[in-house]
Structures are given as structure tokens and as C-alpha cells.
Structure 1
């Protein structure tokens, strides 16, 4: 068996893959239902991050097979930490990093446990995780309180209108007009499954995504794609300035 055959065997043994990586010229998920994912998505927003990340510390939350962590390492980040709650994905990510000779620290942990890292990062990547969480606002609060130092790259599946209503800061109890506007913040709860996935719990529209980010202390700096935001950490709004009481919990 030559080296290529051995590499193909090892990649197959680590399957199934959700990230279509290229390892030694071999694609890990060439028949992905979304296409060349996440590479084709990356092309739409990669420009909002520095081409040279030298000197930056990066935390990739829900890293899956490590596509974004690998990209940050390739761009020269001084430190890359990648976490995921799924041991299967971490095995893939460690293998991919080993093959790329990338210096990435991997840890199996939930987003709810980020307080245990005990530090902040220049950039936190929080892509494709939010809608899989039973407690999404708690997660944003924990990120703001414990690990986001400067910026966060955020992505969440969205459904509904891309319009955003211009809302007042308060409404009378008897005024229900807010709740009849499609462009008002809406967060849809999925009791059973969506896209055959039992971990899809909440799906916001655009207005809800942006409102939740702002309410958690994240100012939107760039919106390069409909579901992708580059955010800057700032002070939390006055009415939500108390830090979350729960520092860590099992997912």
C-alpha cells in the first residue's frame, strides 16, 4: 500500500466528515450535500479578517473538523485553541492539524464551559453553533463575560425575512403591533427536528440575530453574508449588565 492509499484509508476510517477538507490532495467529504463546504462559504467572508493574524490569539468554538482553526493557523495566528463537545469531530480535527503541521490546541468541552479556559482571546470564532444550543443567550453571555477579548466572528442559520423593523425602545402592555411584524425579532423554537437534526433548537430571523448580539454586548462591525457577522465586544446594555450566574454547565 503506497502513502496515498494509506492516507485515503485513514481519512475513510475517521468518517463521516462534515467539513470537506483537503488532506494530501484528498477531499474528506467530496459529496457533501452543501457542496464544497465550508470552503465555498469561507470565500464570502474571509476578507473581513486580517490576512496576517500574526500575534493574534484565536478560539474556535464548535470547531468540527477544524477548517476555520486551520485557516487561522495558516494566516499566522500566534495561538489557536479549538474546542468541540463531540469527540468524533475532535479526532478528525487533530488528524487534519497533524497532516498540515499546524500548531493547534484541541479540547473537548462545551460552549457553556468556556469560563474554565480562564482567559480572553483576540478573536473568537463562533460559527454554526448558536442554533444547536438549548440556552443560546446564556452562551452569548458567557462568551462576552469570559473569552471574547476584541472580536467575534459569528454565524447562525436564519429563516424568515431579511428586513429589520425600526422598533421603539418600549411598548405599552396593550399594544401588540410589535408581535404582528414579520421584520420584528423572531426566534422560532423547534420541538422535534429540522433538517433531520434533533439538535436544531432555535432559528432566528435576521432581526432577532442582530438584536441578541447587541443585547449581549456585541456591536456589529461587518455583515459580509446574510448569516455571518463580525462583532466587536463592548459594554453590555444597561438592562443586561449583570454577568450570568452560571459559569459552566454540561451541554
Structure 2
């Protein structure tokens, strides 16, 4: 087994390059970073935008990261003082092949946990992992968490309200939700949504909904959260907080 701590920067970069696809931009120090991140430099800026919407102090909090992929937000929570972090995923880590997705948007993506697992070793991280689908979340399976991240996942859910109910069931204090929203429908105060039956959004058939801000808040309250607020809004993306 390779001892990553003993590798020089060039050798470490070679190990990082063995991962077929990095979705997240990760900085491993020693001038070694992931370079294939989704949409290049945009991804790095976008990650920082989302990160700025996450509480800076997570000291002694338990954190659940749903849809963790390469784990950028999981590792960030650990760096911000979380006492326990559980990263979960299913579609990316183990199930993409089951969806029969064979079109240009996904064809070159590499499935699996290779990136997450390598990053965890490089960071010498204690972040835990569990392969589980959003709709299978339950306190009996994973427990409850003070803070839950649900970032970039909701609009991929065919049953968004049911998904939020499952997320609520494992949230003790705060949900941080980031999602795609409909810019046009967000001009209206009524809860409205655009439905994407095929690949209308980014030519990706896994994108299902473009809710407006009012609808996302309504979903959160209906799912059982006590209070829901819009925290940040950038073009067709928004971050919400929901409290238990």
C-alpha cells in the first residue's frame, strides 16, 4: 500500500491524476490540485460561493453531507470544527450504471468513490462514508445530525417533497439546501415550478425540476421544518436555511 505522506509532490500528483474524473476542485497542498473539475475554473468559484453560504463555525456539530461526490463539503465541515461528518452518496458512488444513462453529458464521467477515498487518505481525514440513496435516509440507518448539507441534489429528485421529508427525518437543527431554481418563476410570489421531462436543463436527463423561491420554501415547511429562509441567490442557483 502506498504511503501518501511519503510521496513527493510529483508522485502525489500522479496518484491524483489516476482518478478518471474529479467533480470537485480540491487543493491537496504542495501545489497539487484536482484539475478536471466540472466546467473547470467555474467549479472552483461555484464551490466557494456555496461554501460561503455554510456556517463558518461547526465546532462540536455532527454534519451529514448528502450527495457528497468527491467530498469537498464534507472535508470543509471537518476543517470548520465538526466533531463528526458522514458523507453519503448513491447515484455517483455506486448506481449510475443502473440508471441506463448513455448520453453526452454523463458518458465521460467516472463513477465510483475513487476520488472521495483518495482525498480522504491525502487529508488524513476522519470523515465517515455510507452508500445510501436519498429516499432511503432514516434515523434508524444513519442517525440524526445537527447540520445537514443537501447541496446540488434536490432538482435531481423525481419526488422532491418526499426527498425533503426524508432529509428532515435525519436533521436535528439546521438544513443547508442549495439547488437550481427557475429564474422566471421566481419573479412570482406564488409557489411555481418548471418541470423538465427530458434533458431540457443542461442536456441532462437527471434534472427534473426548476422550482421558484416560494415553492422551495413551501416544500421545506411542508416537509416539517419550522422555518425556511433564502440565504443567497446567484443567477439560477439559491441557498436556503431550514430550521427544525
Task: Indicate the residue corresponding to 1:225 in structure 2.
Answer: 233
Give the whole-Å Cα distance in 2 for the aligned partners of 1:47 and 1:53. Answer: 13
Unpaired segments ≥5 residues, structure 1: 166-183, 234-251
Contact 1:84 1:110 in 2 (8 A): yes
SS at match of 1:231: strand
Task: Indicate the residue corresponding to 2:39 in structure 1.
Answer: 33
Give the whole-Å Cα distance in 2 for the aligned partners of 1:20 and 1:43. Answer: 10
CA RMSD of the aligned region, Å? 2.1
Give the whole-Å Cα distance in 2 for the aligned partners of 1:206 and 1:148. Answer: 21
In structure 2, relative to structure 1, the CA distance for the partners of 1:40 and 1:89 (3 Å cut) is farther
Aligned residues: 212
Is 1:216 equivalent to 2:240 in the alignment? no
TM-score (norm. length: structure 2): 0.78
Task: Indicate the residue corresponding to 1:170 in structure 2.
Answer: none
Is 1:17 equivalent to 2:30 in the alignment? no
Give the whole-Å Cα distance in 2 for the aligned partners of 1:209 and 1:50. Answer: 20
Unpaired segments ≥5 residues, structure 2: 1-6, 94-110
Decide which structure has the larger Cα Rg and report it: 1
Shift of 1:65: 0.6
SS at match of 1:19: coil
- 1:1-251 equivalence runs, <5 A: 3-24=8-29, 25-29=31-35, 32-33=38-39, 35-37=41-43, 39-44=44-49, 46=51, 49-85=54-90, 86-87=92-93, 88-115=111-138, 116-144=140-168, 146-161=169-184, 162-165=186-189, 184-193=190-199, 194-218=201-225, 219-221=227-229, 223-226=231-234, 227-233=238-244
Shift of 1:124: 0.3
